[in-house]
Each structure stands twice: as C-alpha cells, then as structure tokens.
Amino acid sequence: MTKKKKNAKKPAPERRASEEKATRQEEAAAAKPKPGKKGSVALETAESMARKQREISVSEFFLKNRHLLGFDSPRRALMTTVKEAVDNALDACEEAGHLPEISVDIAQTAENRFRVTVTDNGPGIVRSQIPKVFAKLLYGSKFHRLRMSRGQQGIGISAAGMYGQLTTGTSTHILSRSRNQKMAHDIAVQIDTKANTPTIISDDERAWCPEFFPTQPDGKPGKPISYAHGTSVSIEMEATYVRGRLSVDEYLKQCAIVNPHLQLHYRVRLMRSDDKDEKGPKTLPADETTPWISYFRGVNEMPPPTREIKPHPHGVELGMLMAMLKDTNSRTLQGALSQDFSRVSSKTAKEICERAKLYPNARPARIAHQESEALYKAINETSLMRPPTDCLAPIGEEQIVSGLKKEIQADFYTAKTRNPAVYRGNPFQIEAGLAYAKPGENEDLNAEEPVRLMRFANRVPLLAMSGACAMTKSTTGVNWKAYGLSQPRGSLPFGPMVVMIHIASVWVPFTSESKEAIAHYPEIMREITFALQDCGRQLSHYLSRKRRADEAARKRNFIELYIPHLALGLKEILDLNDRQEKTVVNKLGGMLERTHLDV
Amino acid sequence: MTKKKKNAKKPAPERRASEEKATRQEEAAAAKPKPGKKGSVALETAESMARKQREISVSEFFLKNRHLLGFDSPRRALMTTVKEAVDNALDACEEAGHLPEISVDIAQTAENRFRVTVTDNGPGIVRSQIPKVFAKLLYGSKFHRLRMSRGQQGIGISAAGMYGQLTTGTSTHILSRSRNQKMAHDIAVQIDTKANTPTIISDDERAWCPEFFPTQPDGKPGKPISYAHGTSVSIEMEATYVRGRLSVDEYLKQCAIVNPHLQLHYRVRLMRSDDKDEKGPKTLPADETTPWISYFRGVNEMPPPTREIKPHPHGVELGMLMAMLKDTNSRTLQGALSQDFSRVSSKTAKEICERAKLYPNARPARIAHQESEALYKAINETSLMRPPTDCLAPIGEEQIVSGLKKEIQADFYTAKTRNPAVYRGNPFQIEAGLAYAKPGENEDLNAEEPVRLMRFANRVPLLAMSGACAMTKSTTGVNWKAYGLSQPRGSLPFGPMVVMIHIASVWVPFTSESKEAIAHYPEIMREITFALQDCGRQLSHYLSRKRRADEAARKRNFIELYIPHLALGLKEILDLNDRQEKTVVNKLGGMLERTHLDV
C-alpha cells in the first residue's frame, strides 16, 4: 500500500518505467522456457509439433482475415454490409418473381457506431433457415448451382453479422414473413465463431408487414407502402459514414442504374446536437422527421429470368470428372454423361464412350477409378455445342445507353453487348458502354484526368479494389490513342469520359471474398478488350466527325474574316458604291453558307 | 441405323446443326419446367428456397475459387506449389533448430504435367498428423498462435495437393521420418472435397533418409548428403514451366537472399527427344544425368528465435474480449486479464477493474455477459506498454545491404530497419533497402524504366499481384522527385534502382489466401513510407554528392581546356621560351589538381 502511494507520487514517465520492468519480469516468469538449444525459446520436435496441430474453423479464419471479406476499415465495413444485404434482397425478390422494393436505413448509435437495417418485399425465409442463413459462413442456396445471381458464396451477410458482433457484441436481428404466414418471425442470432454455428439469442413471433416510405418528387413524404411478405435484417457495427466515390450513396445510385426494375428508399440519420454550435449532447433525430431518398422504378418488368445449367464437359478437369462419376445417380456411363452434363445428348454420350473404347453400360464408379483418363481425353476430343446461354441475363445495349444518359450528362453515348463466351466451362458475357462529354460540358469529367471507370458484375456495382480488377487492367491495355484519346503508358486513357463494363456469369471469379474485383482470366480479359475496342471505334467516328466539324467551322470563320476585304477590293477595282459592296458581302456570305467545305 | 449412316455422310457442319437441335430438345425435355408465372423458369417461394439451402465445405469453396489460392493458371500453380512446400519446410527446420537444407526437384511427366518434389531435413511429422496436414484445408499449428512464421493459415500445401488431384487425379505422396524412428512413413493421401477430410490411399513404412545432391562450385556433382530425419512431399499437377520475373527460379533465388542460413538444391527436368531436331518421342532425361543448382549457405547461424505472444488488449475488439472472457481458464477477472493478454501485470489488471468499477474477483463469464462494455472502455483508457517485440525477427540493415550487394550490381546501397509498430494489436516491423546503379552500369536496370520493386513478408518473396500490394501503393505514394528521381504522377519512380521492402509480423494481413500482396492497413503503409523516405534521403545525399563530383569534373575539364591558351598568352606577354611555357602548363595543371573546386 505504501509502495503504491509512493509510486503514485512519482512523475508519470518514471512510474511507467518501473511498472514496465515489473510487467516484463512477470511475463518472463510466466513464459517458463522449456530447455532447448537456442536461447529461451523451446525447440520443437515432430511430437511436440503434433500436439499443436489444430483444426481452424472457417469463421475463425475469416474473423482474423476480415479484410478478405471487405471489413478492413470502418468506412468499408458500412459499404460492404449494405451491399451484401441489398444483393441478397434483390436475389430473393427476383427468384420469387416480385418486383423488388427495398429500403436501406442507416442510423448512427454512437460516435463510431451505426445500425444498418435493410428491408425487402421478397418471399421471406422459413424459420428453420433463418439462423443458418444469417449466422453461419459458407451456407446458402447459390453456391452449388450454375445460375447467374448476385450472391454466390454463402458468406456475405453472415460475415457482416459477425463483424457487428465482433465490434459491438450485439446480435443480428431478423424479421421475416412469408406469404402464407400470419405473424412474422422476430429472431436475434449470433455466430459461435469457434464452431461456425448459429446461436439463437431470441426467437419470437409478432405482427409485421415490411413497410416502405417513399418521398414524392416534390420532396414531401408520400404514403407508406406495405407488403404481406418480406425480410428485414438489422446489424449494429463499428463504422464511419463518408460520402464520395467509395460510399454507400454511390453504391446505391449505381445499383439503381443497372437495376431499373428496383424501387429503393434510402436514408442516413446522423447524431446531432440541438444547439446550433453542436456543443450539447448529441442525439439521433426522430424517425419521422428524417426524409427518405427514393429511387423510383424505371421499368415495370423483371429482367429475363435465368435458367440453372449443368457443367459443360469441356470445363471439367480430370479430378472433377472422377468425382462426378463416383457421385452420379445414373447406373450407366452413357446415362451419367448425358444427365449430369450440359450439351451431351445420349447419342453424343455414346460417341464419347466409343471414342474412349468404353462400354456405354459400364458402371460409372468403376470408370472413375480405372479408365477416367481415357474418358477425359475422349470428351475433350469430341466437339460439343458451347454451353447454353439462357443462364445469363445481360443488361443490353439499349438499357446501358439509357442508364448512362440518366446518370451522366454527355455528348456521345455508345454500348456493346458481346456474345456469350466461356472460361473454365462457365458461360459469361461482357458488356461495355461509353459516355463522352464535350470538354468543359460536364464539370465532373475533367479532360485532363483519367477517364472514370464504372465496374459491374451480375448487376452489382464494384467500387473498391479497382487496381486489382481485370476490368481496369483490360481498359489500360486497350490502345486508346488509336481512338483519339491521350493515354500515358500503362495507364487509363485521359479524357472527359465514363467507361462502363459489366460481366454477367453463372460464376463470377472474384479476386477475394469481398467480391470487389474480377480475377485475370485471359478469356475474360479478351472479351472485355473486344467490347471496349468496339466502343472505341464508335468513339473514334464521333471524335473525327466532331473534329471535321470543328475544322470546317474554323475554316469558315477564317474565310468569313476575308469577305469584307474582298468586297472592298472589288469595290475599288470595279468602282462599286456602298450598297453594291454590301450586296457582294451578303452574296459571298450566302455562298459560304451553302458550300460544304471539304476539309 | 439408316439415319445414322445418312448423317455420317452429310458434311460436318450440317450434321452438327441437326445434332444441335436434338441436343437442345433433349435438354428442354429434361428441364421439365414447373408451372410458374415467368416463361419456363420456376419461381421460388420461401419453402422451395429453404429446400435448396446447403452447407458449403471449405474445400468445395476453394476448389471453385482456386484463383484465391494462387492456382488460376498452370504457370502460377507451379510457383505456388513450390512456394507453399518450401515455406513449410523452412518453418519446420527453424522451429526444430535444424539449419535448413532443402531440395526442389521439378520433373515434367507429360506435355502440361509436372511432378514437384520438395525434401527437407526438418524434424519430420508424426504418422497420425500426416493425412490432415497434407489433405485438409484450414488445419495447422500456426493459425492459433501469435508468432512470426511463413505459414499462418493451414491452407497452402493441402490446396496444392487438392489442385494436383483436381487436374491429374493423382494423390499427394509424403515420406517422413522423425529423429527416433527407424523407418520412414510412406503415405499417399487425397482430399475428400465434399467433407474437407483426408482419404488415405496407401500407408507403408520403408527405409529412407532425406538425401541432397549439391553441385560443387566447379560444376561437378558433389557427394550426396543424407540426414536421419526429414520430410519429402511430392505432388503431380497440370502446370507449365517458364522462366522470368514470376518464375520458380526467381522465387528460389530471392528466397536464398533473405534466408542466408538456407542451403538449397534445385533442378528442373524437362522432357526432350533424343533426336537433334526434337521430332522423336519425348522422354524425361535420366535422374543421374541432370545436375542440381545449389545455393550454398551464407551464414551458419539461425535467425534469432522468435517467441509466441499473447494478444495485446488494445488490439482486441469488444466482441473478441467477450469471447475471451467466456473461454478463459482463470476464475477471476483480474486473473483472466493478466494471464490471457500481453502487457497486463496483475497490478495493471487490478487498475483496469477499478476503473471499470468491477470486482477483480468477479467471474469472467458473468462479466462477458453484463459489463463487458465498461471493461472494454476501461482497458482502452488505461495506458499500457506496447506489445513485446521478441516475437519478430527482422532481417537487419547489414544483412539487407549484403543481400542486395550479392544480388544486384550497383554503385550505392542503403537500408533501414524501422522500430516495431502495431496494427490492430499485432506487432509488425518494416524494413527497406535500395540499390542504385550508375546509369548504364547494370544492363538489367534501365534508367528510363520504373524501378524494380522486391517485396518480402516474413522472409518469403512475394512475386505475383504487385498491383494490389500496400508496398507498391506506398512506394508510388512517396515523393521521389524530392530525392532526385523522376516520377510520373501516380506511378513508381523511374531510375536504375532496386527497392526492397520487408514486413515481419506475427500476423501478416494478405489481400488473399494466395499470400502475394499486403492489405492496405494505414499503420503498415505509414511505416513503409517512413522507411522508404529514410532510404530516399540517403539516396538523395549520394545523388547530390555524385552530381557535385560530376559538376566539378566538368568544370575542371573546362578550365584544363584553357590552360594551354593561358600559357601561350603568358609566353607572349613575358617572352618565355617553350620549356618555360611547358612548366607553366604543368604548374597550372598541378594547381587545378590540388584545388577542391567549390561548385
């Protein structure tokens, strides 16, 4: 006690030094080094190492590596959470055939804390699935199928909940009601990160209809809209809210552009003080007083529905083929080939068997063990139709141009939708669009700066990690000088222009689990390049037309300058009067008007 | 049958068209659409969706996303496999205190197929652990501890085996013998990707000592070296072998530079034909006839051993704190705080409890539920010592400079090792080095091109994904013009220079599971910037010294040019003879020699 007092009297730095020494000693004593050759760190043997080997749960892994999921900073955490929730809502609405109506409500709860609530009019989720869908990583319906959708991994929304839980200790709250339920489920879950399993914190039923609050075009609040079914998810987390290119605002704006069938209501409520100088205690403004920003539906039709496909034989590796033959429900090789793969009719299957010198009636599991290499070779030597493409729903050239027109004020627009192509057996389709403003016409687009690149995958805007994306790489790889733009070596072209690229695929290969950048598959980069070159050629026509027109105007101005002098000369030579001189000027001017100057 | 013959006679394209129609019809029939509103794609309900929800095993996930693990192209697959195997071998040798001796044998087995065999003199692996270590993702000893090591995730080598299995259907073969075993285990495993569990294909014992084959400096084969313990892993896979900046060769070369205590033997055996014109059937050259490339040990001492640390309280989030209190072995809050965290003595723990108004004897599990926020606040308000740094083993300035001197022929070298810093509670340390060649002196370094950046993390060279790395971003962010280099906006500086950056940390935050790029944590980027600026200032001194010297030489040449004319003038004025004129020239030259020209 005496010592403590003595310490307390010492000036701060010294006190800390003596305490540091004590801490160090205590730690050294706790470490208790085992005998070993080198210093005090124990050396390992095969046996001591074996005792330390442990399984790592996937949730522990991603908790420690949460930057892989897009939770590396409080700012990005907010964006990723909104993105995952909105993507899920859109997918659910589209699969159930409901025109999506979604609200995003962001409310500040403390200095660095926000609550994100996303509500949709989707089909709802049955009670038994709610805990796993929202509090188990790698769980979902989209991973095991080949069909175009926004979500594909079964990680996103559970990861957002896990991040909220990690930073604030709170639970993910879900409200969900399906069409034939009277009451909604009101469930709170957390994730047991050691086991990657959901823990149910509370489980109630209550009356609830998803409600949306549109703002009328004149800014006044409209009548609230409510639906008989839907889901609402609410997560509180450490986050910061900022505006700008990588913000929630920008994400939702771009989301509305590429999803014209989406109706979206959005608001951010920041804590503020009632005093004018913001000195008093800060509180959240009342619910009713904060207006919503509404993005209204542009079209009343859903995008064309997409079909699930089976894997294409030419994209299947030997090891995968063996696994598929082992697991097939078919009793014969011929049956397995024609039922489990796309583009293999029973006739083609027979042809493949013959080529591989195998009996069409052989047991698939036996082939998997013994003759799979011959079969694999035969499959790859057989010419097959390309994979079906009704699994893809591109945006379309017209929609891209009208989306760009709505968003970007410019002088020239063009778009190109490529035919579907294939990487590793997966069909994909690339679309690109350009909007070019006359220099000075659009103050957001500076002619002296790199063009603005907007990236989309399966109708989801990609904002972060632009540098790691195949779309950026392909855009810098195109020779834009050939189309009339300046371009420093290895850089994006410069100019008052927006470039938009979209990939639609049954499996988009992202460079990380946060799904913000496309991996550098050569097939994909080639298609992007072709789409951009097509747009570039259109741009080049526009620019050279524009240049010709500018040149003609310049020449005309030049000649116009001389007309009075010419008239004066004629007046002196021919001894004309002033009226006649004026007539000459007018006539020459008229001639110039009529002439299409050939530049 | 008749129809088939008829078809067979048709020219190929037509035949395919009719077949395509049949395939399409067959597929349409198989799809059997359920009734739904939109077209033929069935609409989902909450119930139908629930039936499709499934768990996704982590191995299925990474099989489909194998570009995340560094297996996106056959070329990169070979590099990633060698990297993962060598990293594991180095970690095992160092932890057991054996000076590492490693061989890497790459043999072509078919057109696009290679077998990679990596053998070490490490402590070996006990039998029961071998299947899980080599055929189960997320399994290992390094994830759950905080200590600097090359591996950290428990994914790498199993992922390499999984890729081999996927592309060739073969197993991973392991030979391992620990010090007190007479025979070695000879085990072949595959991974059951649906369950992420190992399947043992064969399990034998046989006599084996790991053997290494050095090449003497004169190029002749030396005596083989053998050890009583070690591990050898062999994986066959689809791959291509190329040389260059992103090759296995480059990886191993850089590996030897930052691990001077490593002795490495390496060879690649490519299939070739016996004919001179390579027309005959290709075979693999005999084992004995192919020499090894040996990198000999530079030092006979191990790097300083690193200690495992506990998490630092200031890097622990609220949710993590709650989980730790729930799981602690301590019975009291004070005990839990001082035993489970670093830099918390029992006295500090008591101080924290007092600040949070909690009893030091409270049950930790109760606190986790009810008063964790108060505790969290109190922890973050208490000033604590920074995390211990004996968990880090930087390379050191001297070693970096000598490594650079060994590898890069240049005129100026410098290096800087920063003091340890902390991101998210994890200690880390940044080192940087420069090697600047006189323009034209080193033909690999072009003065008109961006500088060459060499990146390392925990003594592992990072080759791929340079664009996504915080090291690249920080290097472009430094204002190199201030240090005398040219630098286009937003680009690396230009010049005949190599920049080397190393991060040492108990947990390196990589941007993807392939561990090739560092995530953009601001604390890390700041430290890199400071280290580079320090090196930049040294460079600037060197460059301005060099510039002054060049300038002086230029002036001297200029003055020398005038000495004869001066002498001639003096001769005429003073009427000197030729001998006297010569003396004047010599004397003036001597004066110039002695004078340090003040530029």
Q: Residue B514 is part of a domain; what is its CATH number?
A: 3.30.230.10
Partner-chain residue, chosen from A23, A46, A54, that has the shortest CB–CB distance to B345: A23
CB A561 within 8 A of CB A502: no
Contact (CB<8Å) B56/A511: no
- Tell me the one-letter amino acid at B41: V
Interface A-B: count of C-beta contacts within 8 A: 270
Among B322, B352, B381, the domain-final residue is B381
CB contacts, 8 Å: B132 with chain A: 53
Residue A473's Cβ-count burial label (10 Å; 0-12, 13-18, 19+) is middle
Among A54, A60, A174, A382, the residue to mutate for chain B (most B Cβ within 10 A): A54
Partner-chain residue, chosen from B26, B342, B511, that has the shortest CB–CB distance to A512: B511
**Same domain assignment for residues A193 and A99:** yes
Show the domain range for B49.
2-55
**Same domain assignment for residues A508 and A491:** yes
Instruction: Give the pLDDT of residue B9.
Output: 41
**Same domain assignment for residues A80 and A45:** no
Q: How far apart are CA B532 and CA A75, in angstroms?
A: 28
Q: Is residue A586 part of a domain?
A: no
Where do the DSSP E strands lie in B291-388? Answer: 293-295
**Same domain assignment for residues A231 and A317:** no
State the CB neighbour count (10 A cutoff) for residue A6: 10
The half-sphere exposure of A207 on its side-chain side, counting CA atoms within 13 A, is 0
Partner-chain residue, chosen from A36, A58, A468, that has the shortest CB–CB distance to B58: A58
Q: Is residue B337 part of a domain?
A: yes
Q: Is residue A492 part of a domain?
A: yes
Residue of B nearest to A96 (CA): B44
Residue B498's Cβ-count burial label (10 Å; 0-12, 13-18, 19+) is buried
Q: Is residue B170 part of a domain?
A: yes
CB contacts, 8 Å: A238 with chain B: 317
Collapsed DSSP state (helix, strand, coil) of residue A66: helix
Chain B nearest-CA distance from A339, in A, is: 8
CB contacts, 8 Å: A344 with chain B: 23
Instruction: Give the pLDDT of residue A39.
Output: 46
Q: How far apart are CA B336 and CA B313, in angstroms?
A: 12
CB contacts, 8 Å: A22 with chain B: 345, 347
Q: Which two tokens stand for residue A541?
A: 């026509």
Contact (CB<8Å) A123/B302: no
Partner-chain residue, chosen from B22, B47, B348, that has the shortest CB–CB distance to A345: B22
Partner-chain residue, chosen from B40, B167, B322, that has the shortest CB–CB distance to A318: B167
Q: Is residue B556 part of a domain?
A: no
Among B38, B55, B72, the domain-final residue is B55
| Number of domains composing chain B | 4
Q: Nearest to residue B56, comparing CAs of B68, B67, B64?
A: B64
Contact (CB<8Å) A144/B56: yes
For tokens 């399984």, the residue is A55
Contact (CB<8Å) A339/B388: no
Partner-chain residue, chosen from B38, B57, B319, that has the shortest CB–CB distance to A97: B38
Instruction: Give the pLDDT of residue A560.
Output: 78
CB contacts, 8 Å: B58 with chain A: 58, 138
Residue of A nearest to B303 (CA): A38
Integer-rounded Cα Rg, in Å, for chain B is 33
Q: Is residue A584 part of a domain?
A: no
Residue of A nearest to B377 (CA): A168
DSSP letters for B425-451: TEEEEEEEEEEEPPTTT-TTS-TTSBP
CB contacts, 8 Å: B328 with chain A: none
ipTM value for the complex: 0.83
**Same domain assignment for residues A51 and A72:** no
Contact (CB<8Å) B39/A305: yes
pLDDT under 70 in chain A at which residues?
1-19, 27-41, 595-599
Residue of A nearest to B520 (CA): A72
Among B338, B353, B381, the domain-final residue is B381
Where do the DSSP E strands lie in B194-349? Answer: 197-206, 211-212, 225-226, 230-238, 263-269, 272-273, 282-283, 293-295
**Same domain assignment for residues B290 and B321:** no
Instruction: Dihedral sign for Cα A60, A61, A63, A64, please.
Output: positive
CB contacts, 8 Å: B330 with chain A: none
**Same domain assignment for residues B197 and B232:** yes
Instruction: Dihedral sign for Cα B312, B316, B321, B327, please.
Output: negative
Contact (CB<8Å) B44/A95: yes
| Cβ-based neighbours of A476, under 8 Å, separated by 6 or more | A490, A491, A492
Residue of A nearest to B165 (CA): A319
Contact (CB<8Å) A143/B388: no
Output the pTM of the full model. Answer: 0.84
CB contacts, 8 Å: B198 with chain A: none
CATH value at residue B325: 1.10.8.50
Contact (CB<8Å) A56/B153: yes
CB contacts, 8 Å: B38 with chain A: 97, 302, 305
Q: Is residue B577 part of a domain?
A: no
Q: How far apart are CA B532 and CA B527, in angstroms?
A: 9
**Same domain assignment for residues B196 and B141:** yes
**Same domain assignment for residues B339 and B244:** no
**Same domain assignment for residues B127 and B268:** yes
Chain B nearest-CA distance from A298, in A, is: 20
**Same domain assignment for residues A455 and A481:** yes
Chain A nearest-CA distance from B496, in A, is: 19
Partner-chain residue, chosen from A22, A385, A488, that has the shortest CB–CB distance to B20: A385
Among A21, A65, A300, the residue to mutate for chain B (most B Cβ within 10 A): A65
Instruction: Dihedral sign for Cα A141, A143, A145, A150, please.
Output: positive
**Same domain assignment for residues B143 and B237:** yes
Instruction: Give the pLDDT of residue B37.
Output: 42
Q: Is residue B82 part of a domain?
A: yes
Chain B nearest-CA distance from A149, in A, is: 14
Among B32, B63, B95, B521, the residue to mutate for chain A (most A Cβ within 10 A): B95
Mean pLDDT of residues grouped by 10 in chain B (599 residues)? 42 56 69 47 83 89 89 91 96 93 95 95 94 94 86 91 94 94 95 94 94 85 91 96 90 90 93 76 80 88 86 89 90 92 92 92 85 91 87 90 87 94 90 92 85 95 89 95 88 93 94 90 95 96 91 81 79 81 82 61
CATH value at residue A230: 3.30.565.10
Contact (CB<8Å) B169/A27: no
Q: Which two tokens stand for residue B93?
A: 């040798």
State the CB neighbour count (10 A cutoff) for residue B383: 10
CB contacts, 8 Å: B97 with chain A: 36-38, 43-44
